[in-house]
Structure 1
Amino acid sequence: MAGNKTVPLDLQPLEVIARVDHPQRRADAEVLLPFFKRITGWPAQMWGPSIIGFGRYHYRYDSGREGEFLITGFSPRKAYTSVYILPGYQDMSDALARLGKVKHGKSCINIKALSDIDMGLLEEMIRDGLAYMQANYETYPR
């Protein structure tokens, strides 16, 4: 069965960040890159042309679809920075309510500026997501 469409690319995260047009997104990405490296202990890798990911895990659905995807990461988008914490936020509603000025989807938090959020709480959320993924999936540093 086909895997994920978003796959690792041989691009350098620092070069991708340097090309981010929006000054706030670029500045936030320059903070997030070492932030995620410190938390995960893993090197950054580009997933597709815009997602900076850390670690990977192997998934297999009941349907037979399987593949690999990043465990955590971020993407400096035009309107906001998306932070990805897998497996999502089903048990993080209390933390999300306290995080600050954000919008969120199933597994991403959209942030206009890092100054709008509690970075210590974000670190806790990333660490919780890492622990869950490492306990429940086959994970790799890169």
Structure 2
Amino acid sequence: MTIATRPTDADVTAFLEGVPEARRRAEGHSLRALMERVTGEPAVMWGPTMVGFGSKPYTNTTGTNDMFIVGFSPRKAAISVYGVQNHYGPADPLLDKLGPHTTGKGCLYIKRLDAVDEDVLEALIRQAWEKA
């Protein structure tokens, strides 16, 4: 089995510029800037559609692989934010203060970046980064 979620040499700026919807494209650039500021790491493409920051080993049924610590993907329906949603325990109380969002097993989904509290989003990213 080939793991698709690996760091690539693809250009993050070119990927974000290729996002079809103007609002989602702008949100991608904003989230990149926020995550670069919080993590102090450059954005790296992981697979064809995810922008990640840092890396750490994880183990699952395919063995031990590397995965980014925090990241995002500007998808059509919502921005998927990775690394800030704890799928092993109770939801972070900060999520109650974030604004409109949904969560999945390991993802935070935001339909409009301008509808959430950016300070709370930054705190979630910082917390995830520091715990890694």
TM-score scaled to structure 1, two decimals?
A: 0.83
Residue 41 of structure 2 corresponds to which residue in structure 1? 42
AA at the equivalent of 2:48: P
Structure 1 residues without counterparts, runs of 5 or longer: 134-142
String of CA shifts for 1:49-94, please: whole Å, max 9, x gaps: 1100000001235x68211001001100011111112572534432
Report % sequence identity: 35
AA at the equivalent of 2:96: A
Q: Secondary structure at the match of 1:68?
A: strand
AA at the equivalent of 1:93: D
AA at the equivalent of 1:69: M
Tell me the matched-pair count: 131
Residue 98 of structure 2 corresponds to which residue in structure 1? 99
Contact 1:52 1:74 in 2 (8 A): yes
Q: Secondary structure at the match of 1:94?
A: coil
Q: How does 1:113-132 map to 2 (within 5 A)?
A: 113-132=112-131
How has the CA–CA distance of structure 1 residues 95 and 86 changed in structure 2, closer, same or farther, with 3 Å as cutoff?
A: closer
Residue 82 of structure 1 corresponds to which residue in structure 2? 80
Q: Which has the higher contact order (CA 8 A, sep 6+)?
A: 1
How has the CA–CA distance of structure 1 residues 88 and 15 changed in structure 2, closer, same or farther, with 3 Å as cutoff?
A: same
Residue 16 of structure 2 corresponds to which residue in structure 1? 17
Q: Secondary structure at the match of 1:110?
A: strand
AA at the equivalent of 1:67: N
Pick the structure with more strand per residue.
Answer: 1
Contact 1:51 1:74 in 2 (8 A): yes
What's the CA shift for 1:115?
1.0
Contact 1:3 1:65 in 2 (8 A): no
Contact 1:4 1:68 in 2 (8 A): no
